[in-house]
Amino acid sequence: MKKMGKLMIVILLFVGLSNSEFPKDITGKWIVENVDISKFDANMTPQQMDMMNKALIKPLKNAVFEFDPSHQFRMSAQLGNMPPNNYWEYNQTNGLIKIRQKK
């Protein structure tokens, strides 16, 4: 297993169903309103769904993500695999946010 320092979490930022453009700037605080795993849950057993609900969905629901102008990242949710001292990068073209441990 790779070290936690190499952990990368990729978050896809959706901005409305009808809006095809992503924001130019994501700095500030963002509140998670919904965690949608519908693309994955069809292949999960009830035990896996329960684990996913406890480990990911419940902690992230209503969590606050803070993207600092200096590229520091903080979130209010407590996730077991999330390393401290996180750094974010944003790709405006595809709306992907990469969060990783700062080296």
> Tens digits of per-residue pLDDT, 16-65?
433 457 888 999 999 988 888 777 777 888 898 888 888 888 888 888 98
Domain tally for the chain? 1
Host domain of residue 65: 4-101
15 contacts 23 by C-beta, under 8 angstroms: yes
How confident is the model over 77-99, as pLDDT tens digits? 887 777 777 889 999 888 888 88
C-alpha span between 82 and 86 (Å, rounded): 9
Of 7, 5, 17, 9, nearest to 75 by C-alpha is: 9
Percent of the chain with pLDDT over 70: 81
Predicted local confidence at residue 28, as pLDDT: 94
